């Protein structure tokens, strides 16, 4: 089975803190058997509790660069000095389970995927405003001051790319329930019935 096989994968993109993980969690609760995650590769060190082959495929810079050069990746990006990426094998592994592969990736990744034959549906998650994004990222208490500043700078660039020209569906995540219901309708109408 190849990455060209239906059903079409689903790309979820949006700035850090826009709510991708929160919406994904709800999606997985509602449709536990229909979606699956591809496991990304990263050169960053595992955090406590992270399991190789489950949360990420942990790898080295040399190995990852070689695999990207060999065309084994659909997308890869460098973030805060580490490489991250999605291998073709990881997407195939989800399709083989008969599930829609969900890809949670940044704008750099979306641009790369548009140059492949993966043909996913693209969803962009927008925060209501940059001020609200800052407040949510601060509230999450996961970022240092430096990381927060970096994420907000990247966010404003990413928001410029988050238009209807580049995405099949845009969700503004202001009220969580409302945003999720919009996403759910899109999933039911466009994603889960795609392909075959």
Ligand X SMILES: Nc1ncnc2c1ncn2[C@@H]1O[C@H](COP(=O)(O)OP(=O)(O)OP(=O)(O)O)[C@@H](O)[C@H]1O
- For residue 63 the two structure tokens come to 């190995």
CB of residue 106 vs ligand X: minimum separation in angstroms? 8
Q: Rule CB under 6 A: is residue 140 a binding residue for ligand X?
A: yes
Residues 173 and 128: beta-carbon distance below 8 Å: yes
CB of residue 6 vs ligand X: minimum separation in angstroms? 27
Query: How many degrees, rounded to 5, is the angle at CA 67 between CA 62 and CA 68?
Result: 100
CB of residue 182 vs ligand X: minimum separation in angstroms? 12
Q: Rule CB under 6 A: is residue 21 a binding residue for ligand X?
A: yes
DSSP sequence for 40-61: PEE-SPPPTT--BTTTBEE--H
Cα-based distances in Å from 109 to 62, 91, 162: 20, 14, 13
- For residue 71 the two structure tokens come to 């065309």
Which one of 8, 34, 136, 151 is the catalytic residue?
151
Stretch that binds ligand X, among 16-24, 62-70, 116-124, 163-171 (CB under 6 A): 16-24
Binding site for ligand X (CB under 6 A): 14, 16-22, 136, 139-140, 173, 176, 179
By annotation, the residues acting in catalysis are 47, 140, 151
């Amino acid at each position: 089975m190849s990455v060209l096989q239906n059903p079409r994968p689903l790309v979820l993109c949006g700035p850090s803190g826009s709510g991708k993980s929160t919406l994904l969690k709800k999606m997985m609760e509602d449709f536990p058997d229909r979606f699956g995650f591809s496991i990304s590769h990263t050169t960053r060190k595992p955090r406590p509790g992270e399991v190789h082959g489950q949360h990420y495929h942990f790898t080295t810079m040399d190995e990852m660069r070689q695999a990207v050069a060999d065309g084994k990746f659909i997308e890869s990006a460098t973030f805060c000095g580490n490489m991250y990426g999605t291998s073709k094998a990881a997407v195939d592994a989800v399709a083989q389970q008969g599930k829609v592969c969900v890809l949670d990736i940044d704008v750099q990744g979306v641009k790369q995927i548009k140059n492949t034959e993966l043909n996913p549906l693209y969803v962009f998650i927008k925060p209501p405003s940059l001020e609200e994004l800052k407040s949510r990222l601060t509230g999450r208490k996961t970022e240092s001051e430096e990381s927060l500043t970096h994420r907000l700078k990247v966010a404003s660039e990413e928001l410029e790319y988050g238009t209807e020209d580049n995405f099949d569906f845009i969700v503004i995540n202001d009220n969580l329930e409302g945003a999720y219901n919009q996403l759910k309708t899109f999933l039911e109408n466009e994603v889960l019935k795609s392909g075959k």
